[in-house]
Amino acid sequence: MFGSSRSHSYLYTIRLKIKVMLKRGRPAQVIEVKPEITTQVYDKGDGIKQIWTWNKSKNPYAPISVETIYPKSFKSPITENEEDKPKTKRQYVAPSGKLVGYTRAKALGII
């Protein structure tokens, strides 16, 4: 009789250990996959658009690029004050709305 109660308690402790082992460790987590590259378009009331691009793997706190697009009829204070400068030092508004230098403006046929 002594041997049977001892084997019974031994099996009981093994079962308890197995239950405890199943509860141990880090619980399973659902990992949300966020897109690493995101873009956001800001449209000001005067027709100027800015496209901000973030890449969380490169820099999680700041955008990696900001692209500014001007309307075709845009007269910037930079281009208005550049009449005194020579043509090679001026900036021109391209058909895409970006400010370009002399060589690119000549290649696009703006000059």
Domain limits, the chain: 37-108
CB of 76 closer than 8 Å to CB of 93: yes
Amino acid 87: pLDDT: 82
This model's pTM is above 0.75? no
pLDDT tens sequence across 13-25: 666 565 555 566 6
Q: Give residue 101's Cα distance to chain centre.
A: 29
The pLDDT of residue 11 is above 60 = no
Backbone angles phi, psi at 86, to 5 degrees: -70, 160
pLDDT exceeds cutoff 70 at 72: yes
